[in-house]
Amino acid sequence: MTRLRILMAGLAIAAIAPIGMALAAGGTKHIEPQEWHFEGVFGTHDRAQLQRGYLVYKEVCAACHRLNYVQFRHLVDIGFSEAQAKTIASEFEVEDGPNDDGDMFTRPAGLSDNFPPPFANDKAARASNNGALPPNLSLITKARPGGANYVFALLTGFGDPPSDLELADGMNFNPYFTGSQIAMAPPLSEDAVEFADGTKATTEQMARDVVAFLAWAAEPRMEDRHRLGFKVMVFLIILTILLYLAKQRVWRNVH
Amino acid sequence: MSDYQNPIIRWVEYRLPILSFIDHSVGRHYLAPKNLNYWWNFGSLAGIALAIQLATGIVLAMHYVPHGDLAFDSVERIMRDVNYGWLLRYLHANSSALFFFVVYVHIFRGLYYGSYKYPRELLWWLGIIILFVMMATAFMGYVLPWGQMSFWAATVITNLFSAIPIIGGGIVEFLWGGFTVGNPTLNRFYSLHYLLPFVIVGIVFLHLWALHVHRSSNPLGIDVQGPQDMIPFHPYYTYKDLVGLGVFLLVLCGFVFYAPNYMGHPDNYIPANPLQTPPHIVPEWYFLPYYAVLRAVPDKLGGVILMVASIAILFAVPWLDTSRVRSAKFRPIFRQLFWIFAIDCILLGFAGAKPAEGLWLVIGRLATVYYFLHFLVLLPLVGWFERPKPLPESIHQPVLAASAGAAVVPPEDRR
């Protein structure tokens, strides 16, 4: 009887085992997991890295991609002072109004404004991008299988197409993208930005930093979550042990 | 009631005996079999999961905006700007999944120990009705964030009704409140998502009422014969349930704090887009087995009927199971069949997660056939042909009885 059960369990495992592999393959190139500062039970963000990542976003990505769920005041969370955040905000123009004359007007952005979109609407975005719509980056590391690792792989994965692949007009080869053809041109090139902290702006460095920034933008409360989670887990472990001991004590005369 | 010394409590008790009611429900005066194991924790855990869903959901509803243009943004606002909004939402999302896990364990415990048998058939039925309402509630809740999976799950599931001949199309438009899934759909789902949990609470009370009439079944599956077989619910089972609650909260918080999106789907962080179908529409994991059954049938109506039947068949289980021995402990063949059936259900879950093609479609079909074979053929047959092991004399002396060779009492005479 036991043997039959073990056999069945073995069969179940044998049936289940290939699933993980099949999921990992998924048709596109395998995504290499990276090491991230924000990973793990005690994971936090590296503020310097987030600020470098913000620079990459602003100098490179912001030309086409929205980041509309992030407000300028949130930048304080990545280590900018309130004054710095205000200065950063004031470099952007946002539409406001109507004023007392009934007209819309533009003004420099303030702390309570969201990052303004690079295009007036999706149609305008498509018109400027060969028909492709640059996705909103606010949630990108949560909205793609593979998360941060996928975005990093995509940013660093551009290359020459294999000889048997005919690229469509205006498309670029990227083996991590569905169908291996992506409308976005390789966005990062050596020294595309100049980091204030002297970090060398290699393509990989910029990709790593901007992905960390986007991971923060997608989940700005993650550090709170890790911090609170640790306290809650410690509390619950002690509580559960005490409850078990109390239960044993209550039950000691029953058996 | 003379039980209470405090004059204020006595005053209240004389007019509204609510404390003694609680006491007779889950307190010192409710007697339960003394041999309940930890598998019996899952009933109270389900109740607690429901309470967590209600508490977090009511607060989320204060911040959520049920409108096609605003719903997704309002959820992100909850995640970013509402104080502890991320905690509320992650608790709500993850405990809904664990709610299903707990309920499934509860159901499988009932199947293993024959808890559905005489005289607990109605108790079992009420449980199945709760499962149905839970599924509807969970589905509509999944639609509310109005992400891509929300939208397309709503489209796929509501379209199932179009399989009904003649009136199907009308029903679908009625559900949508229009000619496609849209803002009216979201609004009514929100309204119902708020209503149905309270319907569940009502059915839970009926479930508990029926439970208290004949009390819990127990791992031995034999009836309690007197006070020597029972212990008061409080403090014994309150404390035992609290241990289970501690473990449940540890698992829940492990997900909430360290893997909050593990059970979710990345596509649901993309706002709903009626013009773009995701490459692969999948439900939450707790619906995957039904999804596999649905897709196992090449015909739409047939698939829908089979999917509903896969749960509705549970209503008939008290009569499909022809054995009068409740516990699988004493049913050697049924016990093997139970585990094979459990593996079959898990297999269905994996088949549901895969595109309906190739090997997985075949596996899904075979597993579906076996699912119904188990209930419709094996369960009646094994009851007739299986020779159960001797049952113990009583709950309080099972070990003694077993070692004394225990009189082999034919199960037919034990009722």
Quote the CA–CA distance of B383 and A249 in Å, as a whole number.
41
Is A234 in the B-facing interface, judged by CB distances under 8 Å?
no
* pLDDT value at residue B2: 56
Single-letter code of the amino acid located at A84:
Q
- B243 vs chain A: nearest CA distance in angstroms? 5
Quote the CA–CA distance of B321 and B315 in Å, as a whole number.
11
Q: What are phi and psi of B295, to 5 degrees?
A: -85, -5
Q: Do B257 and A232 touch (CB under 8 A)?
A: yes
Listed by start position, the domains of chain A span 26-70+114-222
User: Which of B249, B99, B132, B104 shows the shortest CA–CA distance to B200?
Assistant: B132
By the 8 A CB rule, do B349 and B289 touch? Answer: yes
**Is residue B319 one of the residues assigned to a domain?**
yes
Q: Which of B84, B257, B265, B387 to mutate to test the interface with A (most CBs of A within 10 A)?
A: B257
Distance from the Cα of residue B356 to its chain's centroid: 26
B300 included as an active-site residue = no
> Coil, strand, or helix at residue B119?
coil
B241 included as an active-site residue = yes
Instruction: Tell me how many domains chain B contains.
Output: 2
Quote the CA–CA distance of B77 and B65 in Å, as a whole number.
10
Q: What is the DSSP letter of B178?
A: S
> Coil, strand, or helix at residue B243?
helix
Residue B253 CB partners (closer than 8 Å, separation 6+): A229, A232, A233, A236
Q: Do A254 and B86 touch (CB under 8 A)?
A: no
Residue A233 with chain B: CB contacts under 8 Å: 250, 253-254, 257
Q: B148 and B101: one domain?
A: yes
- B86 vs chain A: nearest CA distance in angstroms? 7
**Is residue B147 one of the residues assigned to a domain?**
yes
**Is residue B412 one of the residues assigned to a domain?**
no
Q: B301 and B244: one domain?
A: no
Q: B34 and B161: one domain?
A: yes
> Coil, strand, or helix at residue B147?
strand
Least confident of A11-15, A124-128, B22-26: A11-15
- Best CATH choice for the domain A26-70+114-222 from the list 1.10.760.10, 2.60.40.1120, 3.90.1150.10, 3.40.50.2000: 1.10.760.10
The domain in which residue B355 lies consists of: 288-402
Q: B255 and B324: one domain?
A: no
Q: Which of B37, B240, B243, B268 to mutate to test the interface with A (most CBs of A within 10 A)?
A: B243
Q: B232 and B370: one domain?
A: no
Q: B176 and B224: one domain?
A: yes
DSSP result, B313-334: HHHHHHHH---S---GGG-HHH
* pLDDT value at residue A14: 46
Q: What is the DSSP letter of A61?
A: G
User: Which of A201, A192, A218 shows the shortest CA–CA distance to A59?
Assistant: A192
pLDDT in tens, chain B (415 residues): 457 889 999 999 999 999 999 999 889 999 999 999 999 999 999 999 999 999 999 999 999 999 999 999 999 999 999 999 999 999 999 999 999 999 999 999 999 999 999 999 999 999 999 999 999 999 999 999 999 999 999 999 999 999 999 999 999 999 999 999 999 999 999 999 999 999 999 999 999 999 999 999 999 999 999 999 999 999 999 999 999 999 999 999 999 999 999 999 999 999 999 999 998 889 999 999 999 999 999 999 999 999 999 999 999 999 999 999 999 999 999 999 999 999 999 999 999 999 988 999 999 999 999 999 999 999 999 999 999 999 998 998 755 444 444 444 444 444 4
Q: Do B253 and A254 touch (CB under 8 A)?
A: no
**Is residue B12 one of the residues assigned to a domain?**
no
Is A236 in the B-facing interface, judged by CB distances under 8 Å?
yes
- Cβ–Cβ contacts within 10 Å for residue A240, how many? 19
Q: B257 and B296: one domain?
A: no
Q: Dig out the tokens for A205 from the structure.
A: 């460095």
Q: What is the 3-state secondary structure (H, E, C) of A90-155?
A: HCCEEEECCCCCCCCEEEECCCCCECCCCCCCHHHHHHHCCCCCCCCCCCCCCCCCCHHHHHHHHH
B212 included as an active-site residue = yes
Extract the runs of DSSP E, i.e. beta strands, from chain A. Answer: 93-96, 105-108, 172-173, 181-182
Q: B164 and B231: one domain?
A: yes
Quote the CA–CA distance of A232 and B250 in Å, as a whole number.
9
Residue B73 with chain A: CB contacts under 8 Å: 69
pLDDT digits (tens, 9 = 90+) for B195-227: 999 999 999 999 999 999 999 999 999 999 999
User: Which of A217, A197, A195, A196 shows the shortest CA–CA distance to A77?
Assistant: A217
**Is residue B17 one of the residues assigned to a domain?**
no
Q: B189 and B332: one domain?
A: no
* CA-to-CA separations, B226 to A55, B34, B229, B390, in angstroms, rounded: 76, 11, 6, 21
Q: What is the CATH number of the domain that holds B148?
A: 1.20.810.10
Q: What is the DSSP letter of A71?
A: B
Q: What is the 3-state secondary structure (H, E, C) of B295-311?
A: HHCCCHHHHHHHHHHHH
- A241 vs chain B: nearest CA distance in angstroms? 8
Q: B303 and B258: one domain?
A: no
**Is residue B238 one of the residues assigned to a domain?**
yes
**Is residue B157 one of the residues assigned to a domain?**
yes
Higher-confidence residue of A4 and B93: namely B93
Q: B78 and B167: one domain?
A: yes
Quote the CA–CA distance of B96 and B129 in Å, as a whole number.
17
User: Which residue of A lies nearest to B396 if distances are taken between CA atoms?
Assistant: A255
